[in-house]
A and B are shown apart, each in its own frame.
Chain A
């Protein structure tokens, strides 16, 4: 079973700051998912990446498959970015399985 660790668990920052959330996993995978969950429960898929870097607006995700590590960055953070960010890896690391989730990073951006 893949073990997924995230840090930090909680992060409070000021509007405009550069945010970094880290994720490490124990079993080699082909792709990792970054998800966003707002109060009320709805989950949105932000990225699915297997190598290098992906960018969407102010969000950037990077992954190093050899080091089993991924980061999610938010540039020019805004209060609307306040949410729980969760990384997730395939359940068993190989084949086609469900997801194992990190415990999430609770991000608060203060105006």
Chain B
């Protein structure tokens, strides 16, 4: 069974631009969660989607948004990029909703650099 895939793996953008990252979950998984990892803040929860609905959102500004498609693939979008958005963006999939009861399977991440 193929694991969680994320594209692109690396991305360089300039301030003010927008970016879209993609995550394909493990086949059969319906939940996708997104996380941001930076050296200063560590790993932080962005949002979770289950069956095309955003169920939860972390403490991030509205510039960070996402969506999930009927095949469970998910995208996250960051508009008006800032230098501080440089980070490793990870997605994780699980069969059911939420991390309370479901093991999370992580993708390799997309490393975003904002210049």
Contacts and interface: CB of A to CB of B under 8 A. Distances in A.
Interface of A: 29-31, 33, 35, 41-45, 48, 86, 88, 90-91, 94-104
Nearest to A89: B99
A101 B109 CA distance: 17
A103 B42 contact: yes
> Which label, helix, strand, loop or mixed, suits the secondary structure of the B interface?
strand
A8 to B, nearest CB: 15
B48 A98 contact: yes
Interface stretch (B12-20, B61-69, B73-81, B100-108): B100-108
Contacts, number: 81
Nearest to A50: B101
B37 A98 contact: no
Given A101-B44, A103-B42, A41 B99 contact: no
A42 B100 contact: no
B8 interface: no
Interface in B1-57: 33, 35, 37, 42-48, 55-56
Nearest to B41: A103
Contacts of B108: 41-42
A91 B99 contact: yes
Interface of B: 33, 35, 37, 42-48, 55-56, 58, 88, 90, 92, 96-106, 108-109, 111
A50 to B, nearest CB: 9
Given A41-B111, A104-B42, A97 B98 contact: yes
B58 A98 contact: yes
Given A98-B45, A99-B33, A104-B42, 4 more contacts: A44-B106, A86-B43, A98-B46, A101-B43
6 contacts: A29-B100, A31-B99, A43-B106, A44-B106, A98-B56, A101-B43
Q: Which of A99, A101, A103, A104 has the most CB of B within 10 A?
A: A99
Nearest to B31: A96
